[in-house]
Amino acid sequence: DVGCTDVLCCVIFVIVILGYIVLGTVAWMHGDPRKVVYPTDSYGQFCGQQGTPNANKAILFYFNILQCANPTVLINLQCPTTQLCVSKCPDRFATYIDMQYNYRRNKSYWDYYKLFCKPGFNNPDKPVSQVLQNEDCPSMIVPSRPFLQRCFPDFITRNGTLTVANKTSFKDGHGKIRSVVDLRDAANGITSLLDAKEVGVKIFEDYASSWFWILIGLVISMLVSLIFILLLRFTAGVLFWMVIFGVIAAVGYGIWHCYWEYSSLKGKPDSDITISDIGFQTDFRVYLQLRQTWLIFMISLAVIEAIIILVLIFLRNRVRIAIALLKEGSKAIGCIMSTLFYPIITFLLLALCIAYWAVTAVFLASSGDAVYKVMSTLPDCKYTNLTCDPETFSQSNVTKLCPGSQCTFAFYGGESLYHRYIFVLQLCNLLVFLWLVNFTIALGQCTLAGAFASYYWALRKPADIPPCPLASSFGRALRYHTGSLAFGALILSIVQFIRIILEYLDHKLKGAHNAFTRFLLCCLKCCFWCLEHFIKFMNRNAYIMISVYGKNFCASARDAFFLLMRNVMRVAVLDKVTDFLLFLGKLLISGSVGVLAFFFFTRQIPVIQEEVPSLNYYWVPLLTVIFGSYMIAQGFFNVYAMCVDTLFLCFCEDLERNDGSPSKPYYMPPGLHRILNKTDQGGKKYAVS
């Protein structure tokens, strides 16, 4: 009888989803992503925001970039100098003193310079000392270009010498001659970022001209993956044994080579020195001159060879079962081809979850009002980082006690209950996101398991397979087992959430010298990594049992665990054989498509040489095709792995529930019958553990 499982968890899951929608709505009402997109001036106003005086001023200009220590300070808007929105960056060297001197002869000097002064200031005759003290205008401007919507000096290296507009020095507006190296120190790393931007533009151009051929490469990899899975029905055994004997031969050759090197070094000077005598050497070739090194290699390879041979001798029946299940998995996929395309649904659902989480996180991060803090160049200013009001700051004592200090926009925040718990809401956003992602994956696993279980438990295959097995399984999973899937996903999400927090703490404690704390944190990270992988393994098998029997999560997990423990050797062999063959398939597909793409994009295929687009970097589409092919193969082979795992659990259940008699016939395919020496006539049952 099919009934709803883990109803309480289902109700909680639905309530959490509704709460998540409310959280997103509240964040949308309070947040403003423009705070993340647009740079903000010293008054908390966006540069380039439509409907404001800054609508046509999309670039941020720094009055005195020499006050800025490094690019991260600039990008985080924590530079202790006035920041102003401008329509374009300056294109010349100039100082306010020179401008005021030349203005009397030519008014155009002031018309240009005032573009970089505070809005509304139009008094070029005002004394220089007062202008610079009130920061009405910058003391100097330097040729700049926009990067990340901010004006940075236009550095150019000529003959190994750093220059700005062909100059190596400039006036700072305070009567001093400064080197452009000072500008570089103030904006350290910007030149490499500008180069990165140029590379980014070229990469974008390459994608624009080669996207069609990249798409063709990915379609080819999809077809090859499909053919590979269908061919495993006939080639799984041959492929596995070829690889195994290839490995045995390779290891055997390694043993012979080590023995030959060991013998050839006999009698040579210094070859009998031990590794411990020479200690640690950075040049590894030193060790290759020692007989002891080759002896260790030879013994290690001999042990590996012996283990492989013994495993094949004593576990040969289990290996044959694994290969038979791999072949049967290919048959099952051949009967239910729609399962190969189910990962597209999973991908779309995951994309929806990621998009919603990212948008909510951005709106939460951009919630709040502008907060201003005192920024000072003086190291001993006690008011530094205290909040301030830019409207009244010039009349406060801070400007007298800390000359040159600024009341600069720092971040967006607030004192309301909502603003105080922004960080907690971000953590909630992350936890629910993990829960939804794991639920989506669980839904896919349970759906596929249900479809493949319907194949196994059909007595006559494929005649007895129910119609539309995948759609039916998807409907059952959603209708009856949402609570169980949500329960399993929640357990995994909590462990992943703790792991993220531990990683965050580890990042924060990088500079800590407390060895015990670092050791404890490392142990915790290791334990939770193991726990996460164990829970993933158990959840996967629990979802298979849920799809077969329709029990709740705990009962299914318990049944799956004890069933696996009773067949632990089969589990180990099947798991490794499957992983090995599928990994081989992924490498084969991505590698072959990658080689084809390499010959194509490097114009080494004469027939279609003229069709190849001109590229800045041929490795851009090449790496995209290789990575995309691997991910496509991963999607197809995950379905195949789920199929084999489902058939294996059903096979173990079949062995325990049935005895091959007419009243209790086996549902396993004939291939597995022959391997296990089973009979459908109720004859003697030979146990193969």
Choice among 151-160, 421-430, 446-455, 463-472 with the minimum mean pLDDT: 151-160
- With tokens 């081809």, the residue in question is 337
Q: Give domain status of residue 38, yes or no.
A: no
pLDDT digits (tens, 9 = 90+) for 490-517: 999 999 999 999 988 887 776 666 778 8
137 and 242 housed in the same domain: no
347 and 493 housed in the same domain: yes
Q: Give domain status of residue 428, yes or no.
A: yes
Residue 548 or 585, more confident:
548
Whole-number pLDDT of residue 158: 74
345 and 465 housed in the same domain: yes
Q: Give domain status of residue 186, yes or no.
A: no
Give 308-377 as a 3 state SS string: HHHHHHHCHHHHHHHHHHHHHHHHHHHHCHHHHHHHHHHHHHHHHHHHHHHHHHHHHHCCCEEEEEEECC
Of the residues 551, 580, 600, the one at which a domain ends = 551
pLDDT band at 428 (very low <50, low <70, confident <90, very high): very high
Whole-number pLDDT of residue 676: 62
Find residue 408's DSSP bridge partners.
373
Q: Give domain status of residue 145, yes or no.
A: yes
Determine the average pLDDT of the residues in 403-426.
72
Whether the predicted pLDDT of 467 surpasses 60:
yes
592 and 646 housed in the same domain: yes
Choice among 112-121, 279-288, 469-478 with the minimum mean pLDDT: 279-288
DSSP 475-519: HHHHHHSHHHHHHHHHHHHHHHHHHHHHHHHHHHTTT---HHHHH
Whether the predicted pLDDT of 679 surpasses 60:
no
Q: Give domain status of residue 670, yes or no.
A: yes
CA 292, chain centre distance (Å): 43
578 and 638 housed in the same domain: yes
Neighbouring C-alpha atoms within 13 Å toward the C-beta of 323: 17
Whether the predicted pLDDT of 448 surpasses 90:
yes
Neighbouring C-alpha atoms within 13 Å toward the C-beta of 32: 15
Choice among 386-390, 595-599, 620-624 with the minimum mean pLDDT: 386-390
Whether the predicted pLDDT of 443 surpasses 90:
yes
Q: Give domain status of residue 210, yes or no.
A: no
How many other CB atoms are there within 10 angstroms of residue 664's CB atom? 12
pLDDT band at 197 (very low <50, low <70, confident <90, very high): low
pTM of the predicted model as reported, rounded to 2 decimal places: 0.70
Choice among 73-77, 244-248, 427-431, 433-437 with the minimum mean pLDDT: 73-77
Q: What is the domain extent for residue 512?
A: 1-30+339-368+414-551
Over its C-alpha atoms, the chain yields an Rg (Å, rounded) of: 34
Whether the predicted pLDDT of 684 surpasses 50:
no
Q: Answer yes or no: are the C-beta atoms of 666 and 315 closer than 8 Å.
A: no
Q: Answer yes or no: are the C-beta atoms of 487 and 11 closer than 8 Å.
A: no
Determine the average pLDDT of the residues in 603-631.
82
Alpha helices in 157-189 (DSSP H): 180-186
463 and 355 housed in the same domain: yes
pLDDT digits (tens, 9 = 90+) for 67-118: 764 444 433 335 667 788 998 999 888 888 888 888 878 888 888 888 899 8
Residue 527 or 333, more confident:
527
pLDDT band at 528 (very low <50, low <70, confident <90, very high): very high
- Averaged pLDDT score across all residues of the chain: 81
pLDDT band at 680 (very low <50, low <70, confident <90, very high): very low
Choice among 19-23, 27-31, 411-415 with the minimum mean pLDDT: 411-415
How many other CB atoms are there within 10 angstroms of residue 482's CB atom? 23
267 and 121 housed in the same domain: no
Helix (H, G, I), strand (E, B) or coil at 282: coil
Residue 328 or 270, more confident:
328
Which helix (H) or strand (E) element contains residue 41?
Answer: none
Q: Give domain status of residue 148, yes or no.
A: yes
Whether the predicted pLDDT of 675 surpasses 90:
no
Alpha helices in 90-189 (DSSP H): 96-103, 108-113, 128-134, 180-186
Q: How many residues does the chain have?
A: 689
Number of structural domains the chain divides into: 4
pLDDT band at 281 (very low <50, low <70, confident <90, very high): low
**C-alpha–C-alpha distance, residues 120 and 136, integer Å:** 10
Residue 486 or 179, more confident:
486
pLDDT band at 681 (very low <50, low <70, confident <90, very high): very low
pLDDT digits (tens, 9 = 90+) for 641-656: 899 889 888 888 888 8
Of the residues 501, 521, 551, the one at which a domain ends = 551
Residue 126 or 193, more confident:
126
409 and 427 housed in the same domain: no
Out of 126-140, 188-202, 299-313, 428-442, the most confident range is 428-442
Out of 40-44, 163-167, 241-245, 247-251, the most confident range is 247-251
Of the residues 413, 439, 474, the one at which a domain ends = 413
pLDDT digits (tens, 9 = 90+) for 206-226: 888 888 888 999 899 989 888
Determine the average pLDDT of the residues in 409-435.
79
Amino acid occupying residue 401: L
pLDDT band at 678 (very low <50, low <70, confident <90, very high): very low
576 and 660 housed in the same domain: yes
Q: Give domain status of residue 44, yes or no.
A: no
Whole-number pLDDT of residue 315: 74
Whether the predicted pLDDT of 269 surpasses 70:
yes
383 and 355 housed in the same domain: no
65 and 82 housed in the same domain: yes
pLDDT band at 413 (very low <50, low <70, confident <90, very high): low
75 and 115 housed in the same domain: yes
Whole-number pLDDT of residue 451: 93
Q: Answer yes or no: are the C-beta atoms of 317 and 688 closer than 8 Å.
A: yes
